[in-house]
């Protein structure tokens, strides 16, 4: 039963959670510029391909007859003119594409804004750490694998890698930006439509590269503000005996050696911050829906679901597991 909840089953279950994953359906100005460039290059390339294939077909059809009848200086001059014309057309087409590429890059760079919301994303094998910067340290928020942004406001995205090369790509919002160890990268984007937009790592980064996804939630400003205020709060002490036992299980086992839950003694940053785990829609960087059953399977046997992940299996009794799940599901 646990194997049925693996990546294939999760992909089907998550199909209704995501809006779309497409570079030709932009929801922001940066993605729109890239989409326009994509269509331009596609159309020009298609026209060139059709013309070349047509000329090739014509040459094959007429080649033998012309080879027998056309020879001498006049034929050579005619061929030279055709070749020169083709070279000139190629240079013009490539020049136009270069100018359009340069223009698009200038347009994207012009979106820089010092008043933008700053979000720092760190790529790990194989999940995303998300931090919201604020001059007031007490108002900084840390979460994982899900990015909430307000509709209509520019976002400054700062990226870095904790291990190997990753690539952050949410095509409905912007192009790819690489995360290179030892170097930081910055870009800007803006979501002009509310929705949930799918993203993923676009650079092969190891065994579980295919299961390193994220989601961008473009929320109306008031909903984003409410979400942000909720994320600022620390976890509240469990009020019933079952959840109290679950918290004890979390703090006494290896869970607390890798994860943070603000408001408790758990403060490690090896794995994702779990302070508001229950408010997220997925587990294991988009691999599973965040339900009680999938959470239990992930806690007990993460290697059976996402082989090679950094999370070890946990040996728990049935009572310990149920108490732990009750506690984790209260972290909203």
Task: Encode pLDDT of 282-320 as tens digits.
Answer: 999 999 999 999 999 999 999 999 999 999 999 999 999
Q: What is the CATH number of the domain that holds 290?
A: 2.60.40.420
Counting every residue written for the chain, the total comes to: 332
CA distance 53 to 151: 46
**Domain contains 181:** yes
Three-class SS of 13-53: HHHHCCCCCCCCCCCCHHHHHHHHHHHHHHHHHHHHHHHHH
Q: Which structural domain, as residue segments, surrounds residue 57?
A: 29-109
- 125 located within any domain: yes
**CA–CA–CA angle 62, 67, 71 (5° rounding):** 130
Do 168 and 217 belong together in one domain?
yes
24 in a structural domain: no
- pLDDT confidence of residue 234: 92
Q: What distance in Å separates the CA atoms of residue 231 and residue 195, rounded to the nearest whole number?
A: 20
Among the candidates 74, 109, 144, a domain finishes at 109
Q: What is the mean pLDDT of each run of 10 residues along the chain (332 residues)?
A: 39 46 84 91 91 81 60 66 84 91 87 90 96 93 95 95 95 93 93 93 94 95 95 91 94 92 92 94 94 95 93 92 95 92
Domain shared by 275 and 207, yes or no: no
Tokens linked to 314: 């946990």
Number of domains in the chain: 3
Residues 158 and 124 in one domain: yes
Within a domain: 260: yes
Question: Quick one: pLDDT at residue 18?
Answer: 46
The predicted pLDDT at position 71 comes to 56
């Amino acid at each position: 039963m646990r194997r049925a909840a693996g990546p294939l089953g999760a992909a089907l279950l998550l199909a209704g959670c995501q809006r779309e994953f497409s570079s030709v359906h932009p929801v922001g100005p940066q993605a729109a510029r890239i989409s326009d460039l994509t269509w331009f290059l596609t159309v020009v390339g298609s026209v060139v391909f059709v013309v070349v294939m047509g000329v090739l077909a014509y040459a094959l059809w007429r080649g033998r007859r012309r080879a027998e009848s056309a020879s001498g200086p006049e034929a050579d001059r005619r061929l030279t003119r055709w070749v020169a014309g083709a070279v000139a057309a190629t240079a013009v087409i490539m020049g136009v594409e270069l100018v359009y590429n340069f223009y698009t890059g200038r347009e994207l760079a012009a979106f820089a804004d010092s008043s933008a919301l700053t979000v720092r994303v760190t790529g790990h094998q194989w999940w995303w750490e998300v931090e919201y910067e604020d001059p007031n340290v007490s108002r900084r928020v840390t979460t994982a694998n899900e990015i909430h942004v307000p509709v209509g406001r520019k976002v400054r995205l700062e990226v870095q890698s904790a291990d190997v090369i990753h690539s952050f790509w949410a095509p409905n919002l912007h192009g790819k930006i690489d995360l290179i160890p030892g170097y930081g990268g910055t870009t800007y984007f803006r979501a002009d439509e509310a929705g949930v937009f799918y993203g993923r790592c676009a650079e092969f980064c190891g065994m579980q590269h295919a299961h390193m996804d994220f989601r961008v939630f473009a929320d109306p400003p008031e909903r984003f503000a409410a979400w942000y205020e909720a994320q600022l709060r620390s976890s509240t002490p469990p009020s019933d005996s079952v959840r109290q036992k679950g918290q004890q299980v979390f703090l006494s086992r290896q869970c607390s050696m890798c994860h943070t839950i603000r408001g408790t003694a758990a403060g490690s940053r090896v794995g994702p911050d779990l302070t508001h785990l229950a408010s997220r829609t997925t587990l294991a960087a988009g691999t599973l829906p965040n339900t009680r059953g999938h959470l239990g399977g992930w806690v007990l046997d993460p290697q059976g679901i996402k082989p090679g992940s950094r999370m070890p299996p946990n040996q728990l009794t049935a009572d310990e597991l149920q108490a732990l799940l009750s506690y984790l599901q209260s972290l909203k």
